[in-house]
Chain A
Amino acid sequence: MQGSAAVSILPGATPALSPPVVAAQDVTITYGGVVALKNFSLAIQPGEIVGLIGEAACGKTTAALAMLGLLRPPGRVVSGTVTMGGADLLTLPREQLRLLRGRDVGLIVQSPRGALNPLLPIGRQIATVYRAHNKVSRQAARDHALAMLRRVGINDPERRYHAFPHEISGGMAQRVLIAIALSSQPRLLVADEPTSGLDVTIQADFLDRMWRTTRAAESAVLLVTQDLGVIANYCDRILVMQAGEVVEERRVPAFFRGPTHAYSRSILLMQAERGAERLAAPAADTAPLISVRGLFKRYKLRRGRATLQAVGGVWLDIRPGETLGLVGESGSGKTTVGRCILGLVQADEGQLIYRGQALNLAQGLPRSLRPRMQIVFQDPFDSLDPRWNVADLLREPLDLHTKLRGPAQQARINELLELVGLDAPTALMRPRQLSAGQQQRVGIARALACEPELIVLDEPTSALAPAARTAIILLLRSLQQRLGIAYLFISHDLATVRHLSHRVAVMYLSQIVEQGDREQIFAHPRHPYTRALLAAHLDTDPTHRRPDHPPATRLEGEIPSPVDLPPGCYLAGRCPSALPQCRTEKQELIAQEPGRLVRCWRATEELTA
């Protein structure tokens, strides 16, 4: 698509060409001479949802803000217009623009808590914005705010109206933001990565509500995201951006059938697989490389008056050369499990059996075991010392655990760089000079340096943009095939878990609730939580969209706090098939068919019936 009038194919439902709600024409924006957005054109129809996807710093946010006539200093508009209701937002006087904002246009930003005033109750914040744009009484604004809270799915709005932002969860804060943004029924809604900080179940819930509310109000929506699942399920049209330019604009079904631009193809690379490819797995009777037995970790809170149970009895096995995916939402304890196995967090109880040798995890690991088990972190930049260059970073483990020195060491560094797909000159660069994907490759090379048998991958792809994410998954997979390393792959992203794991364990509130091989978990989940998690997952399949096929399994409410856990099954309060005895009886992991364990007596009953 080139700048021309941007007449776009409409979503099937809209019959004729109505005038667009907003139309950007040939907009170019620079930051101190650097072009951030080049010849950007986009027209959005009423009721249409347009998805905008691209790498970090490709101009997505600049484009989204420009649609609202907003510029981040020191940004400067070089050319172009953004027309809405006959006015050009880019040249409109401040005061008129202010009247428009909040009434005709709404914005939802990435960090919900940062966007709310910490000193005002959330209900007041909704009412204030509503009153700023509508001539209504205080009482009417209050009633409207309550109605909005109810509409975005907040239980007990009368009480929540008076809650302060720090008293509500991140998911709820995000819903308050959408309530503010939608309170005056804006004609245009811009959402900049609204769900990137949220858990899968909350994300799906949030997007469902946004979809329904905006469709009902015929609002035009621009949705900036890095998640193809979001695009496939909720958007009518997609814009792919690279280095400030739109490189592809298509209707969503056509895009997923056959993207034309090279970058689009690179981010869709993994989609064809859908986890159907075969991963060479070790034989089922292979002795495990490590076994974890009865792992517990509790934290004392409020000066010992309360206990937070981070890990409540975890048993797991990992065989040599195998990937065990550990899935769960935030606060499930999955990261703590990984840290405890490596001895980075001292467990309260637990045994680690490494090649038949039993070790007490409550006493820390012997130093000799360190090089055998390594870790790759979530935030690649944070995990590298910013003052060291890549060669020095890789030299550290070699100095510590190998006898390689001088030229032999240099040769090993080059070999490591080659293994992770970095070229030799990278050795002299510092972390800051590398892209996030390259930084993560350095992190992987460092973990590989002393030839470990197990690597704990703690959300290694969640901080990466789509193309880099795909590349890292492919790299990890090929490294496993070449070097035979076992992975403990910790992630909340079901799509990447499916691409990489032989077996999967699902964690909920400090316990494993279901464990099995990949097919068992993904094709035939048994535990209600696993089912809900999979139902909330946004598949990148535009022919089977979530709004058209509402999932059967949904969990009510939010994840309870890991302080003061319920006496019976931890899921009982949210589970659709809970019976009275679920609330009182503790659940144990029960073996079902070979390889599968489920912590739910009803699922077992169902199977035997």
Chain B
Amino acid sequence: MTRLRAYPTLVIGLVLVTLAVLLAVLSPYIVPYAPNTATPDVEMAPPRLTQIPHLLMQGAPVHWFGTDAAGLDVFSRVLTAPRTDLIIAISANLLSMFAGTLIGLLCGFYRGWLSELVMRISDLVQSFPILISGMILVTLAGRNAGNIILALGLLYTPIYVRLARVEVLSQRSRGYVEASRALGMREIVIAARHVLPNSLAPSLIQASVMVGFGILTTAGLSFVGAGVRPPTPEWGLMIAGGVDDMIQGQWWPSVFPGVAISLTVFGFAALGNGLERLYAR
């Protein structure tokens, strides 16, 4: 415990990320209302503090965050959304980290025209804003979670290629690589056994931050109408759905999912920062 205290961002990050993951797993069992079933209360404001004891006494489940224009319970939907957002962001990153690290390892270890070509292609991919190219890809392939994962996975891969390649380049000139070579070990074995494990730290740190960005992009895609389809409980969709009513003072359908996104993204960023400090020791 005393050691953890030296890394406050790691602790904050762990708490927020754990919370998000727990919600993704357990939300069906803890939410007061079914996220996609309309209630008779339409556009109901969140309860004021003074009303809470009275509401609790009534025994009926409370609309803690109010309800939206369709009468859906905002609280239940905010809590259910990590199922979609987190799964998309994490899967896309796992996919791109796996592919990117492998490609980066090979490009860094075997340098030639092919590895140059791969690097230029990844430059090309990176030169488009992710949200724009994500929109195009998802629109072409069809709006569903699987396609979003594939599209984001593809777009994030160059980041990991670059990270892994730089690290591999610095590791392969290290003495222990030459020592293994002097022992007569095959290059591919050296790459897998020595270079890869020593090159992973930056990718892992980056992954934590990137999951946060992934959530942001997933929500962004839904916001512009190129993400998952309504009425899936998803933060970006919820914000988009509530935007029209914001101007009339009905802030709750949009603000609560917005805060949820902020907290989650911050949690992953903090975790990444904490890991970085931990590795730097």
Contact = CB atoms under 8 A, between A and B. Distances in A.
A272 interface: no
Contact of A396 (B181, B183, B198): B183
A342 B185 CA distance: 13
Given A370-B182, A370-B184, A374-B183, 7 more contacts: A342-B182, A371-B183, A375-B182, A382-B174, A387-B198, A400-B183, A446-B183
Interface of B: 174-176, 178-185, 194, 197-198
B176 A384 contact: yes
B184 A383 contact: no
Contacts of B174: 382
Given A385-B198, A387-B197, A387-B198, A379 B175 contact: yes
B184 A367 contact: yes
12 contacts: A344-B178, A367-B184, A375-B178, A375-B182, A377-B178, A379-B175, A382-B174, A385-B194, A385-B198, A387-B197, A401-B183, A450-B183
A342 to B, nearest CB: 6
A377 B184 contact: no
A294 interface: no
Contacts of A387: 197-198
B169 to A, nearest CB: 16
B175 A377 contact: yes
Interface of A: 342, 344, 367, 370-371, 374-375, 377-379, 382-387, 396-397, 400-401, 443, 446, 450
A397 B183 contact: yes
Contacts of B184: 367, 370-371, 400-401
B183 A383 contact: no
Given A367-B184, A370-B184, A400-B185, A375 B179 contact: yes
Contact of B182 (A344, A385, A386): A344
A379 B184 CA distance: 20
Nearest to B189: A400
A396 B180 contact: yes
A382 B183 contact: no
Contacts of B198: 385-387
B175 A382 contact: yes
A279 B198 CA distance: 42
Contacts of B176: 382-386
A183 B181 CA distance: 50
A371 B182 CA distance: 8
A344 B183 contact: no
A383 B197 contact: no
A385 B179 CA distance: 9
Contacts of A401: 183-184
Nearest to B177: A385
Nearest to B197: A387
Nearest to A365: B184
Contacts of A378: 175
A40 to B, nearest CB: 29
Interface core residue of B174, B175, B176, B182 (most chain A CB under 10 Å): B182
Contacts of A370: 182-184
Contacts of A383: 175-176, 178-179
Contacts of A342: 182
A600 B63 CA distance: 97
Contact of A377 (B179, B183, B194, B197): B179
